[in-house]
């Protein structure tokens, strides 16, 4: 049996009932027996083992394929310093960073989880171990590497994995297209970005091209993330539905 303690309880929860108390020798004292030499033992309580699992609590969760640049983005927007590298699955544990905004704006937290691959909801790759950490985020940040041949397909895979895991109502999200500064002639970055822009526009999400490595558009990204967390009344919403 699993219990999701996602909010404070109105009253204490009884996990196990304790045993009954014993009776010491003085409970059996009578007129002609002032110092009885016997007592009554108590009964043992119920014993059991419990597993308590902490789900990372962050305002926003970074979701993307391995090597999309999530950790580099977290380093660029927050005070976190996760490990970065040019190989897949550089991030092996969730990392939490605080985004500090200019005076007059509140700070917020962003979590970076290890890369998701197709089948993660079925526990492939690092799978379910880390998908759980974004269940309570108030918004999802999809990170796509524009050095990949089909970023739109990757976005659809990520959406499907979240929905299969049970995160179906993704009405607050932003799509971050990282590595847009690349100049490889084999990559049609502008064409791929236009496809993503058309797709995202249909579901009322926001989209932004950046280069986290070169710090391009990072301030604009931070503003969009801030709005995703706090400007809840002004963001258009539309539930994502299957075609």
Asked if residue 140 has pLDDT above 60, the reply is yes
- pLDDT score, position 89: 47
39 and 69 belong to one structural domain: no
Same domain, 35 and 64: no
Answer whether residue 148 shows pLDDT above 80. Answer: yes
Q: How many domains does the chain have?
A: 2
Q: Rounded to whole angstroms, how far apart are CA atoms 148 and 179?
A: 10
33 and 129: one domain?
no
The count of residues in the chain is 243
Asked if the structure places residue 161 within a domain, the reply is yes
Residue numbers of the domain that contains 144: 60-231
Q: Look at residue 130 and tell me whether its pLDDT is greater than 50.
A: yes
What CATH number did the domain enclosing 138 receive?
Answer: 3.40.50.300
80 plus 188 within the same structural domain:
yes
| 191 and 123 part of one domain | yes
Number of helices (H) and strands (E), helices first, in the chain?
A: 5, 6
CA distances 25 to 32, 35, 37, 151, Å, are 14, 8, 6, 78
Could you tell me if residue 2 is inside a domain? no
Structural domain contains residue 242: no
Task: Tell me: do 40 and 123 sit in the same domain.
Answer: no
Do 19 and 102 lie in one domain? The reply is no
Give pLDDT tens digits for 80-126. Answer: 765 554 544 454 567 888 999 999 999 999 988 877 766 544 555 45
- State residue 3's pLDDT score: 73
């Amino acid at each position: 049996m699993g219990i999701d303690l996602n909010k404070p309880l109105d009253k204490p929860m009884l996990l196990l009932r304790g045993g009954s108390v014993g009776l010491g020798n003085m409970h059996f004292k009578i007129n002609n027996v002032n110092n009885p030499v016997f007592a009554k033992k108590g009964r043992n309580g119920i014993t059991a083992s419990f597993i308590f699992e902490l789900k990372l609590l962050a305002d926003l969760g970074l979701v993307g394929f391995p090597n999309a640049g999530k950790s580099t983005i977290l380093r660029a927007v927050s005070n976190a310093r996760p490990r970065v590298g040019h190989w897949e699955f550089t991030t092996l544990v969730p990392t939490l960073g605080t985004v500090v905004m200019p005076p007059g704006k509140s700070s917020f937290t962003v979590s970076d989880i290890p890369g998701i691959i197709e089948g993660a909801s079925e526990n492939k790759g690092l799978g379910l171990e880390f998908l759980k950490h974004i269940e309570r985020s108030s918004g999802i940040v999809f990170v796509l590497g524009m050095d990949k041949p089909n970023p739109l397909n990757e976005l659809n895979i990520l959406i499907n994995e979240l929905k299969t895991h049970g995160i179906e109502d993704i009405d607050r999200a932003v799509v971050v297209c990282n590595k847009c500064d690349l100049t490889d002639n084999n990559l049609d970055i502008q064409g791929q970005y236009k496809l993503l822009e058309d797709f995202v526009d249909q579901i009322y999400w926001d989209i932004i091209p950046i280069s986290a490595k070169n710090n391009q558009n990072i301030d604009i990204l931070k503003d969009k993330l801030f709005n995703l967390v706090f400007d809840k009344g002004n963001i258009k919403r539309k539930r994502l539905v299957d075609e």
